[in-house]
Chains A and B, each alone.
Chain A
Amino acid sequence: MRTDTLVAFLLIGLSAVFYKLSMDLTDGGDIFPKLLSIMTAGLSLVLLIMDIRKARAENGSEKESGGPKTLRPYVTFVLAVLYVAAVIIIGFFTSTVVFMVVMMLYLGVRKISNYLLAVAFVAAFYFLLFDKFLHVPLPRGLLF
């Protein structure tokens, strides 16, 4: 399915959910969300019609558009998700060091000195700024 068509359907669905849930709201809390649900659905419908017309003009095939044909952004995103999950379990500093090393390996950094310098600088900077200066209670987790 073409991307804009998919987006249009998803947003019409989202608008329907918001509209349905708004029906249970009272004291005027329902009016604005209902209005926005209708507006979002209406705009999505316009997008859908425009995309169908475009598809006809292009003979059904979607022209090369959107994201690049590489998995790198998605792998990076998965690594970021794992990193956040690890922050809760093994603590901020340990997970940061592990994440940075894994990510640099994945992105093809070769020099050992780059690893050492980057990790040491980042860990020291965060420790001094957030832990010591701003007193942010960073998650400690099982390790550090």
Chain B
Amino acid sequence: MDSLFTTVLLNTLSLKVLMVMVIGILAGILVGTLPGFQANMGVALLLPLTFGMSADTGIIMLVSLYAAAIYGGSITAILFSTPGTTASAATAIEGFELTKQGKSGTAIRIATWCSAIGGMVGAFSLLFISPPLSLISLKFGPPEYFLIAVFGLITIASIASGSLLVKGLIAGSVGFLLSTVGLDLDSGYPRFIFGMSFLASGISFVPAVIGLFALSQVLAMVTQDSGSMGSGVAHYDKKDWKFFITLDELRQVKNTIMRSLGIGMVIGVLPGAGADVAAWVSYHEAKRFSKHPEKFGKGAIDGIAAAEVAKNTECGGALIPLLTLGIPGSTTAAILLGALVMHGLVPGRDLFTKYAEITYTIIIGFILANFLMAVIGMAVSRHIAKLTNINIGILAPVIVTLTVIGSYALGNNIYDVWTMVAFGILGYFMKNHGYHPAALVLGLILGPMAEKGFRQSLVLSNGNLLEYFFTRPISVTLIVLIVLTMVGPLLMEKRRQWKARIAG
């Protein structure tokens, strides 16, 4: 154990890992700062670069970007009332009020250090909760793997498409269907390749992700008029800019921090709700518990602390079901799942035994990245906000070239680039018509696992699949969860309509 701890620590503190961490953080803050850019787009664009890296180094770069992008969105939310990401919308309410009062430094300081506290606690919980939780995966057999894949897909489908669950399910189902393209691993027989030999190895997941999340975003971005993305210049008082959060400030928000840590953690572990939900719930709870709720909406630092702590705690929390059971809690987590699989790491107990060195390096790296994020964030936030003045006319072509070179560099294969382009236009169409691409991506990633589990279950059940599924406790639990996830939102909607009718 000691030697594992020492190796992990040395790995994490190596120059290479620290460098990729800094790159991931800077890229993340940039992605978070630019309105219209989401963490998933950043992770998709950086994914090809991790190919040449070891699994731990590559994943650390991606999780650093993930955390920093969630935080970075708050910088523009505070300075310009333009949340860089949806998760920062709650921060914008109080943060921009403080900016108008010349206290943008206070707002940024609170947001930055509270994000870091949330992120670090989230990462520590990942360290302590994941290993025991992963023991459950030891009890998994083929039916459970099949049901986990279905459950993961349904959670993403149900959040991604809101009330229109059917569209999310269609996207996931098509993702599953597309995952069957290529050689059948059992028989070695090619399936659905339509005479195109490059399809024999299946539809590459990374170009699909780059197309669905990056190219499609550029297509959406160019609909805006050319010009900068920022809106105006922030007012700030130089005296208000201090590097560290003060003890007095910490004392004011300590109760909010504690409460928001709990909220972020619970929402993170529950598959389905993302950082934006965590931020809003936490913000409203802070207002409800506040001795001065009247200050909310007028620049309450409690409001900023609540949203920031919860949304970054949620990041760590969302990785718990991902690493232990393979259930991604958000779109970005779905892409991270693909990255893990791409590096030969399968979520479950093996990650904490056979690949313990890699996994713990990633987790310790994630803790450190959250701290570094605050240091770098405080150093660059004032300057990076100026980047919102970059013209879309320049940014859009740069990103297109990045999507092309990124998907080409994967296997030095132009077919991957065409795959990316095809998924780019598909993603644009999907987003515009309510079919969220995350479900399709997850279908592509989880398809092979679902198929393997299903086919093995068929063999093991001797043809009586239903009896086989319903006599296994974990399978039954998963089936119940699947049904609840599908029916739950519909029932809540009916209840809301019923209540509205009674009130009306």
Contact = CB atoms under 8 A, between A and B. Distances in A.
Contact of A27 (B184, B405, B450): B184
B401 A126 contact: yes
A128 interface: no
Size band of the interface chain B makes with A: 35 or more
Contact of A92 (B222, B405, B424, B454): B405
Contacts of A134: 49, 52, 409
A31 B461 CA distance: 15
Interface residues of A, number: 61
Interface string B173-197: 1101100100010110101100000
A27 B189 contact: yes
A40 B170 CA distance: 6
Contact of A43 (B170, B187, B401): B170
A10 B409 CA distance: 33
Contacts of A28: 186-187, 455, 458
Contacts of B52: 134
A120 interface: no
B222 A84 contact: no
Interface in B135-182: 166-167, 169-170, 173-174, 176-177, 180
Interface string B416-444: 01100100110011001101000000000
Given A43-B173, A77-B425, A118-B394, A21 B222 contact: no
A36 B176 contact: yes
Interface in A54-111: 65-68, 70, 72-73, 76-77, 80-81, 83-84, 87-88, 92, 96, 99-100, 103-104, 107-109
Given A27-B184, A72-B223, A126-B401, A84 B421 contact: yes
Contact of A31 (B176, B417, B428, B454): B454
A139 B457 CA distance: 46
A29 B458 contact: no
B455 A108 contact: no
A96 B406 CA distance: 13
A88 B176 CA distance: 31
A29 B177 contact: no
B14 interface: no
B392 interface: yes
A11 interface: yes
Given A29-B189, A80-B424, A107 B401 contact: no
Nearest to A4: B433
Contact of A36 (B177, B394, B432): B177
A40 B177 contact: yes
Contacts of B170: 7, 11, 40, 43-44, 47
B219 A77 contact: yes
B180 A104 contact: no
Interface in B321-351: none
B396 interface: yes
Contacts of B191: 21-22, 25, 29, 33
A22 to B, nearest CB: 8
Interface string A1-37: 0011001000100110010011001111101110111
Nearest to A118: B394
B220 interface: yes
A44 B432 CA distance: 18
B404 A68 contact: no
Given A107-B222, A108-B393, A130-B405, A29 B412 contact: no
Nearest to A41: B173
Contact of A76 (B166, B180, B222): B222
Interface of B: 49, 52, 166-167, 169-170, 173-174, 176-177, 180, 184, 186-187, 189, 191-192, 215, 218-220, 222-223, 226, 391-394, 396-398, 400-401, 404-405, 408-409, 412, 414, 417-418, 421, 424-425, 428-429, 432-433, 435, 450-451, 454-455, 458
Given A118-B394, A136-B405, A136-B412, 19 more contacts: A11-B174, A21-B192, A22-B191, A25-B187, A25-B191, A36-B180, A76-B219, A76-B400, A77-B421, A77-B424, A80-B421, A83-B401, A83-B404, A92-B405, A104-B394, A104-B397, A107-B396, A126-B401, A136-B409
16 contacts: A14-B177, A35-B454, A36-B173, A50-B166, A76-B222, A83-B401, A84-B404, A87-B417, A100-B397, A107-B397, A122-B401, A126-B401, A134-B409, A136-B405, A136-B409, A139-B414
